[in-house]
Amino acid sequence: MKKTTALWLALGLAGYVLLPWYETDAGLLDPAVLAAYIRGEVPSGLAQMLFHGRWWLAAPLIGFAGSLAVLLVVKAQRQAAIGLVTFTAAGLALSAMQGLLIIPSGARLLSFPGTEVGQGSMGIGALLTFCGLLFTLTTGISGLGKGRGDAFVCGLIGAIVASVGVFVFYPVLHVLLRAFELRDKTGYGFGEFLPRLLSADIWGAKCLVFAGPCGSGTNSLILALMTGLGTTVLGLAFALIFTRTNFRAKGLLRVLTIIPIITPPFVIGLALILLFGRSGTVTNLLADVFELERTRWLYGFWGVYLAQVLSFTPIAFLVLIGVVEGVSPSMEEASQTLDADRWQTFRYVSLPLMRPGLANAFLLGFIESLADFGNPLVLGGNFNVLSTEIYFAIVGAVADPARAAILSIALLFLTLGVFLIQRRWVGKKSYTTVTGKADSGRHAALNPGLRAACYALALPWAAFTAVVYSMIAFGSLVKLWGYDHTFTLAHYARAFAIDIGHGLRFTGSAWDSFFTTLGIAAISAPLTALIGLATAYLLVRQRFFGKAAFEFSTMLSFAIPGTVIGVAYVMAFNFPPIELTGTAIILVIVFIFRNMPVGVRGGIAAMSQLDKSLDEASTMLGANSFTTARRVLAPLLGPAILAAVTYSFVRSITSVSAVIFLVSARHNMATSFIVGRVENGDFGVAIAYSAVLILTMLAAILTLQFTIGQRRLRRTNRLEAA
C-alpha cells in the first residue's frame, strides 16, 4: 500500500508544485505557453499561493502534507489508512470548495476576505493535483477494508465516480440551479420554479380539443406515446416474421438492424422531405396526376412521427428478436401437446411470455422519441417538442437560459420517469427463459391469419424504408431535387473537393468538419470503451460498499437526453472552475459520457458470459485483480472491446443533440455542419455529406464484423469444451 500511495502522492505533488495551476490559452507544449512557463508567468498552485496572494490554494497542501506525515510517522497499517483517508478527503473537499466558491469576479455565493484577486479556470496542474489526491484517498480506503481491500478496484471506483460526478451530475446540477434562478436575475428562489415548470406554455393541451396549439411538453408526450406504440407493433411484426416464418429474405431484414446505428438522426427527415416536401417526388406526382394541392403537411406532427417510426422501428425489432427468441420452444411444444392450436398457443402462452419484452420495447421507443432532436429540428415546423424548444431557448433570437433550464428539467423528468418504470417494473418481470442450457425444440410456426397480418404490416413498411434510404443516394446526385433532376456530382465536389495541383489540399467545404469528427470520434472511442468496460467490470465482478448506488447513478446517466446534456455542459463548463467550451476536449468528454452506456451494456453482456471461476482461479493462483483483468479478462473480452470501440466511434459520428451546443468555429462537427446546410436549404450538400458519413460508418462496422467474425471462429472451438 505504501508504495502505491507514495507514487500517487508524488504525481499529485508534481502537479501542484511544478505545473501551471490555471488553464493556459493553449496546451503546455505550445511554444508561446512553454516560453511563458519557463519565464515563470504561469505559476504552479504552490507559487500562486505563496507569491500571488491566492491563499486559498493552500487547500491541496493540507492533503499532501498530512498524507506525507502519515506515511513517514505512522507504522500500523490501519491507523495509517485512517490518517491518509482523513487528510486526502479534507484536501479534496477544500480544493473543490475553493474552486466552486472563488471565481473571477470575487465570490459567487459567499465571499471571503482577500479573494478579490479571483481566479480563472483550473488547468493541468490542478488536474494532476486532484488525481493524486483522489487516488491516494482510494488507496487509503482500500487499506481500511478487511482482507478483500483492493487498491486497483478502489481506484477504479474512485475514478469512475469522480468522472461521472464531474461530467454528468455536476452539469445537470447546474441546470437545476439555473431553473431556480429568479426572473429578474437577483438570486435564486423556489417561488417561481413550480409555476414555470407546470406552465401552460409547456403542458397546455388545447390541441386535444382542437382549440389551438399544445405546449411542447404535451407535444413530446403525445409524440412519444404514438412512436412507442408504432415502433413496438412494427418491430413485433418484423420479429415474428424473422423468427417464426420461413420468409426468404431474412438477410435483408438483418440489414434493418444495422441501419439505425449508422444513420445520423436527421437523415430520415431529409429523405422524407425529398419524398413528401413541397417539391418532393410524391407531392409532385400527386399534384400532376390528381391535381392535389402542394401542402406543408410534412412539417409538423405527422412528418416527425413518420420520421421517428422509420428511425426507431429497427431498434424495437432488435429488442424484440431477442424477446421472441427468448420464449422457450419447449413451452410452446408443451402447449401444443396439450392440444392447443397455433393461435391459442400464441395467444395464451407466447404472447404473455413476451409481455415484459414488449413493454420494454415500447418504453425504449418512448424514450428515443422524447430524446430525439434531429428529426423534430428538420421537420418540426411549428410543432414544438421539448428537445427543440431547449435548443431554440439557447441559440434562438432571444436567448433565455433559464427557460432552457426549465424545459430541460421537464424533459429530464419524463425520461427519468420512464427509465424508473422500466427498471422497477419491467426489469424485474422478465420471463425470458435463456438459461444457458441447450433448449432444443422448435418454435411454433405462426397461424396463417397472424402470419398474413404480419406480412401485410411489415413488408410495405420495409419497402418504404428501402425507398427512403434510396432517396439519400439519389438526392445527392441531382442538381436540385424536385426541379432539376440532371445528374451531377457537384454536391460532392463542393463538399469534398481535393486540389492536387499545388500539393494535396482539401478544398471542399466539408473536409474541416469531417476530419474533426473523425479525429474526435477516434480519440473518444477507445476512452469510452475503457470507462464503459471498467464500469461493467465493477458491476459484474466486484462487490463493494455502495454498489447499488453506484449502479443506479451510472444507469441514471443513460436516461439523460442529449439535448439536456448539451445545455448542461454549456451552463457548467462556460466558466471557471472548469472552463471547456470552445475546446475539442469538451467534445471528446461529451462523447465519452454520452456513449458510455454502449460500453457498459456490451461489457456486462460479455462479462456475464465468462464464468466467474476464471477470475477466482487467477486470484487463487496469486494474481491481484489488476493482473487478472489484464491477463485473463482483457484477452477473453477482445471482441467485446472491439465492438465497444467501433460502436462508440460510430455513435460519435452520428450524434447531434448534445454536440450542436458545443461545437465552435474551430471545432465543427459533421452533424452540426449538415444541420447548418439544411437550415440554409442547401439539401444537396447535406445529403451528399450524409451519404459519405453513412458509407464511412458502414466501412467501420463491416471491418468490425469481419475482425470479430475471424476472432470468434478461432475462439469458439477453444471455448467449446473448456
Partner 1 sequence: MTNTLPKGSVRFDRVAKRYGNVTALKELSLEIEPGTLVTLLGPSGCGKTTTLRLIAGLESASEGSIFIGGQDVTHLSATYRKVSMVFQSYALFPHMTVLENVAYGLTVKRMRKAEAKQRAEMGLELVGLKGFGNRLPSELSGGQQQRVAVARAIVLEPEVLLLDEPLSNLDAKLRRHVREEIRQIQQRLGLTAVYVTHDQEEAMAVSDRIIVMRNAEIAQEGSPHDLYERPASAFIADFIGDANLVDVEVTAASSSGAEIALCGRKLTLPSAAAPTGPAKLVLRPHQIKLDRMPGQSTFPAEITYAAYLGNQIQYTLQGELGSLFAVAPPIAGAPQVGSSVFVSFEPTEARLVSA
Residues that bind partner 1 (CB under 8 A): 146-150, 611, 613-614, 616-624, 627, 631-632, 635-636, 715, 717-722
| Cβ at position 160, least distance to partner 1 in Å | 22
Q: Is 284 or 624 the residue whose CB approaches partner 1 more closely? A: 624
What is the SS3 string spanning 257-294?
HHHHHHCCCCHHHHHHHHHHCCCCHHHHHHHHHHCCCC
Q: Which three cell numbers stand for residue 372?
A: 430525439
| Cβ at position 704, least distance to partner 1 in Å | 20
Q: Is 616 or 679 the residue whose CB approaches partner 1 more closely? A: 616
For residue 659, the tally of other CB atoms under 10 A from its CB is 29
Q: Is 451 or 715 the residue whose CB approaches partner 1 more closely? A: 715
At 401 the three-state DSSP class reads helix
Distance CA 269, CA 267 (A): 5
Query: Residues 355, 640, 708, 632: is their CA dihedral positive or negative?
Result: negative
CA angle 225, 231, 234 (to 5 degrees): 135
For residue 585, the tally of other CB atoms under 10 A from its CB is 14
| Cβ at position 617, least distance to partner 1 in Å | 4
Q: Is 150 or 389 the residue whose CB approaches partner 1 more closely? A: 150
Half-sphere exposure (Cβ direction) of 713: Cα atoms closer than 13 Å: 5
Distance CA 509, CA 61 (A): 50
At 601 the three-state DSSP class reads helix
| Cβ at position 545, least distance to partner 1 in Å | 13
Q: Which three cell numbers stand for residue 381?
A: 415546423
| Cβ at position 615, least distance to partner 1 in Å | 9
| Cβ at position 226, least distance to partner 1 in Å | 44
**Region of 315 on the Ramachandran plot (φ > 0 left; ψ -120 to 50 alpha; else beta):** alpha
| Cβ at position 511, least distance to partner 1 in Å | 42
655, 591 in Cβ contact below 8 A?
yes
| Cβ at position 612, least distance to partner 1 in Å | 9
| Cβ at position 685, least distance to partner 1 in Å | 48
| Cβ at position 162, least distance to partner 1 in Å | 25
What are phi and psi for residue 294, nearest 5 degrees?
Answer: -80, 120
For 340-387, the DSSP string reads --HHHHIIIIIHHHHHHHHHHHHHHHHHHHHH--HHHHHH-TT---HH
Q: Is 584 or 634 the residue whose CB approaches partner 1 more closely? A: 634
Q: Is 518 or 634 the residue whose CB approaches partner 1 more closely? A: 634
Q: Which three cell numbers stand for residue 578?
A: 472548469
DSSP conformational letter for 583: S
Q: Which three cell numbers stand for residue 285?
A: 406526382
Q: Is 453 or 621 the residue whose CB approaches partner 1 more closely? A: 621
CA distances from 722 to 272, 415, 436 (A): 52, 43, 15
| Cβ at position 67, least distance to partner 1 in Å | 23
240, 246 in Cβ contact below 8 A?
no
Q: Is 456 or 719 the residue whose CB approaches partner 1 more closely? A: 719
| Cis previous bond, 577, omega within 30 | yes
Q: Is 553 or 619 the residue whose CB approaches partner 1 more closely? A: 619
Map grid coordinates 470468434 to a residue.
712
Q: Is 185 or 714 the residue whose CB approaches partner 1 more closely? A: 714
Q: Which three cell numbers stand for residue 467?
A: 425507398
Residue 498 belongs to what H/E stretch?
Answer: strand 498-499
Strand pairing class (102-103; 478-480): unpaired
Distance CA 722, CA 720 (A): 6
Q: Is 264 or 639 the residue whose CB approaches partner 1 more closely? A: 639
Q: Which three cell numbers stand for residue 297?
A: 403537411
Q: Is 75 or 146 the residue whose CB approaches partner 1 more closely? A: 146
The closest of 56, 68, 60 to 19, measured between CA atoms, is: 60
| Cβ at position 720, least distance to partner 1 in Å | 5
Distance CA 271, CA 46 (A): 58
Q: Is 234 or 533 the residue whose CB approaches partner 1 more closely? A: 533
| Cβ at position 628, least distance to partner 1 in Å | 9
What are phi and psi for residue 478, nearest 5 degrees?
Answer: -115, 160
Q: Is 289 or 722 the residue whose CB approaches partner 1 more closely? A: 722
| Cβ at position 445, least distance to partner 1 in Å | 36
At 161 the three-state DSSP class reads helix
